[in-house]
Amino acid sequence: MSPNHNVPTSPAQSFRARWTTRIIGITAAVATAVTVWLGLWVTPPDETQGDLVRLVYIHPGVAWVALYLAFALAAVASLLYLWPRTRSLFWDRLAAAAVEVGVVFNVCTLISGSIWGKPTWGVWWAWDARLTSTAVLLVLFLGYLALRRVPAEPEVRAKRSAFVALFAAVDIPIVHFSVLWWKTLHQGATVLNPNLSPTIHGSMAWTLLLGFVALTLVFVWMLLVRYRIGVLEDWLGTGELDLALRERQAEGGSLDEDEAA
Amino acid sequence: MAPLAPPHPAVFLHDAVALSGRFPLLAGVDLEVAVGETVLVEGPNGAGKTSLLRVCAGLVPLASGEAVVLGLDPVRQRNQVRRRVGLLSHASHLYDDLTVQENVRFAVRAAGADTDRIGGACERWGLTGRLLKTSAAKLSAGQRRRVALAVLMARWPELWLLDEPHAGLDASARETLDQLIGEAGADGITVVIASHELGFVESLAERAVTVTGGRITGGRSLTAGTAAEAVAGVDGGAGPAHPGQPVDRLGPVDPDDRTDEVAHVA
Amino acid sequence: MWRDSLLVAGKDLRIEARSRVGLSQVAPFGIVALVLFAFALGPDRTLMAKGAPGLFWVAVLFCTVLAVQRSVSVEAVDGARDGLRLSGLDPAGLFLGKSAAIAAQLVVLEVVLGAGVVLLYGASIEVPWLIVASCVLGTIGLAATGTLYGALSAGLRVRETLLPFLFLPIAAPVLLAGTRIWQAGLSGGTASYGGPWLRLLVVFDAVYVALGIVVFGPIQESA
């Protein structure tokens, strides 16, 4: 077929791609395991927060992935899809995968934040600026996914989703600032939050860093797998195109036969 | 209103493939329509006649192949193309809450055309008096068609794409339509008519092309006195066509040419 | 672009004048919403007065959803959307025109709802220009984003349920800002608090109007 179709010619994944995914997956699993071990057993509990502080190894990490990594990736990929020179269904599938995995991490952020908040603030959900922004981002993500479920040709669906992602991407900073001005409980933007986090030192710092790395690797692995699924889904659809073209053209042939008969 | 300089065809399609999802509306169309020609597009239901017109109007982008309409790219320069092309489709694009007069005025002004010809066009199509002030919701299908035709006439674009224009019209309206097409042709306007009511349209067009299975599979001259019929089809109907196989490219017919028009296999 | 937008806005407003949907359906819906809020919050007048700004803007947001749905459905009949595409209208003009028509309807609605809030909830306006400014800026933002999402979901069968879900989170900053400005503008508020929020609305409006002008054409073609 013509090169206009951004269609993989076969569903077989390259050797390199398969092994990259596997290695990342294994590394992610190992890193997570080590983080868990360090986080739960090796590092000491905090004076004020006790064992609750162990959430610091998870919550900022998933938040970083959901709010920044996944979201930025989806936004940039969508922009690249919309830009005519770089238009390729690769970016669309990447964006969709990023959003889907991002939803998972987003929910984990909200849950871990909520679990952390309950003993600290006394409520399951304090209308804290950052958690609220995260919740709005979750809703925007879900809207994106809902729109993608509407049956359509891949290019049409990709364009539509990309626009939604673009609008959401533009909106998120505005939402962030409005919610921030509206209510501020999270002081500052880092883990060095006087309310939630004490000084991080020694083994805690390393575990924290490892946690970030581990969660990023988990995200990347899930992203690759989800992307691959997207490729397979699309390939199932397009393999039929050549067949459809031939059948369509055959309509003409058989009709001529009828007329000639 | 001035037609393009003769070297440029009004419509040029080469190996045009248009998709709707996975379904190929057009599966490799080659067509050339010269400026000022009136061409009939015939073929069975579902063959792709409507899709062909929609591609020419720039509504459906091509998945592959080439399309040049009035010397412009119907996708990249779509607004320019659309202002110079008039598509008469099955739907009439009317707003139910507006009156006939308001609908016509809006449609003509939206297309960037002058409003001077509106009065004459409405009269020609019998849209006068109380009918003008009737809201579009109350019109019958035939009346809606007349309104759409009045809009087309008031706009007087360079290229007319008519999809089953006679459908829903009564006898007098059909007569008016035939006259109109004749006048348009005389004025140098290119007219492409898709129809399978051959009886009505054969007399209007200079030649006909047959569309089946999303491709042009034949053509014939319709000028008076010529008994010639081009050989239809690339493979004479033997078996399914193969993708990528070149199709007839039928050039414009010189009405004075009385020799047989034979399809050239490229 | 401007000529086209005036043409389209005129057409939409004429349809509205003819069919009176905004006046006879959307406005009453807004009033009903205000009444329901009152039921929900109980007979405590001070509570209602305090909640008035927020409730006003929530009602406006819901009415915006209805107004946008109506604006989109006007074109859904008889292939009018295709007709607009075929006419070669400048898409930016089409965007501005439809937004302007929605904005005009929203302004009227806001006057009605504002009167409702003052009467029903006992809110009293102290700094009128803040109230007016917030309504003007908020309306522009809502109309622009609403038109954009309306166009995105125009051809979809699930538009009715999908549009609110997509549009409302995007409109959240308008709700937040509008509420804060109203709080500043009603008695018991501090007028100076309104400043930063007004600036936020200006940014929001500028971003989405600019985005709409640029992006409306491609959206139309892909729907």
**Residue A252, in any domain of the structure:** no
Q: Report angle CA B192, B196, B200 to the nearest 5 degrees.
A: 75
Q: What is the CATH number of the domain that holds A176?
A: 1.20.120
User: How confident is the model at residue C42, as a pLDDT?
Assistant: 75
| Record: contact B97-C83, CB cut-off 8 A | no
| Record: contact C19-B107, CB cut-off 8 A | no
Split into its structural domains, chain C has a count of 1
Burial of A51 (0-12, 13-18, 19+ CB in 10 A): exposed
| Record: contact C222-A159, CB cut-off 8 A | yes
Q: Which of B89, B102, B109 sits opposite C79 (nearest CB)?
A: B89
Per-residue pLDDT tens for A31-77?
888 887 777 777 777 666 667 777 777 788 788 877 788 889 999 99
Residue A132, Cα to own-chain centre: how many angstroms? 18
| Record: contact C11-B98, CB cut-off 8 A | yes
Give the residue-averaged pLDDT of C102-127: 87
Q: How many beta carbons lie within 10 A of that of residue C207, not counting itself?
A: 18
Nearest residue in chain A measured CA to CA from B212: A252
Per-residue pLDDT tens for A192-249?
333 444 556 667 777 788 888 888 888 888 888 898 888 888 777 666 667 777 777 7
How many Å apart are CA B220 and CA B211, to the nearest integer? 12
**B79 touching C (Cβ < 8 Å):** yes
How many Å apart are CA B196 and CA B179, to the nearest integer? 19
User: How confident is the model at residue C47, as a pLDDT?
Assistant: 84
Q: Is the pLDDT of residue B45 over 90?
A: no
Angle between helices C45-74 and C128-152 (to 10 degrees): 40
* The pair of three-digit structure tokens given for residue A216, joined into one six-digit string: 């990023």
| Record: contact B237-A257, CB cut-off 8 A | yes
CB contacts of A248 in chain B (<8 Å) are 23-24, 27, 213-214
* The pair of three-digit structure tokens given for residue B260, joined into one six-digit string: 């047989």
Residue located via tokens 């047989």: B260
- Strands of the sheet containing B11-20, edge to edge, are B23-33, B11-20, B64-69
**B87 touching C (Cβ < 8 Å):** yes
Q: Which of C7, C14, C90 sits opposite B98 (nearest CB)?
A: C14
Q: Report angle CA A185, A186, A189 to the nearest 5 degrees.
A: 155
Strand B11-20 relative to strand B23-33, pairing: antiparallel
**A143 touching C (Cβ < 8 Å):** yes
Q: Which A-chain residues 153-192 have CB contacts (< 8 A) with chain C?
A: 155-156, 159-160, 163-164, 166-168, 170-171, 174-175, 177-179, 181-182
Interface partners of A (3+ CB pairs, < 8 Å)? B, C
| Record: contact B24-A245, CB cut-off 8 A | yes
**Residue A204, in any domain of the structure:** yes
User: How confident is the model at residue A191, as a pLDDT?
Assistant: 34
First to last CA, chain C: 21
**How far A171 CA lies from chain B's nearest CA (Å)?**
30
pTM, entire model:
0.81
**Residue A85, in any domain of the structure:** yes
Split into its structural domains, chain A has a count of 1
| Record: contact C7-B110, CB cut-off 8 A | yes
* The pair of three-digit structure tokens given for residue A110, joined into one six-digit string: 């909200």
Provide the CB-side half-sphere exposure for C180 (13 A, CA).
22
User: How confident is the model at residue A190, as a pLDDT?
Assistant: 38
User: How confident is the model at residue B227, as a pLDDT?
Assistant: 41
**How far B75 CA lies from chain A's nearest CA (Å)?**
13
How many Å apart are CA B40 and CA C154, to the nearest integer? 34
| Record: contact A146-C208, CB cut-off 8 A | no
**C56 touching A (Cβ < 8 Å):** no
Domain of residue C92 covers 2-222
**Residue A17, in any domain of the structure:** no
How many Å apart are CA B70 and CA B159, to the nearest integer? 8
Domain of residue A185 covers 22-247
CB contacts of C215 in chain A (<8 Å) are 163, 166
Is residue A153 within 8 A of residue A5, CB to CB? The reply is no
Q: How many residues are present in chain B?
A: 266
Helix (H) or strand (E) holding B27: strand B23-33
Per-residue pLDDT tens for B72-103?
888 888 888 888 899 998 888 888 888 888 88
Give the percent of chain A with pLDDT over 90: 13
Q: Please give the interface size between B and C, counted as residue pairs whose CB atoms are below 8 Å apart.
A: 74
Per-residue pLDDT tens for B96-153?
888 888 889 999 988 888 888 888 888 888 888 888 888 888 888 888 899 999 999 9
**Residue A192, in any domain of the structure:** yes
CB contacts of A250 in chain B (<8 Å) are 213, 240-241
CB contacts of C207 in chain A (<8 Å) are 170, 174
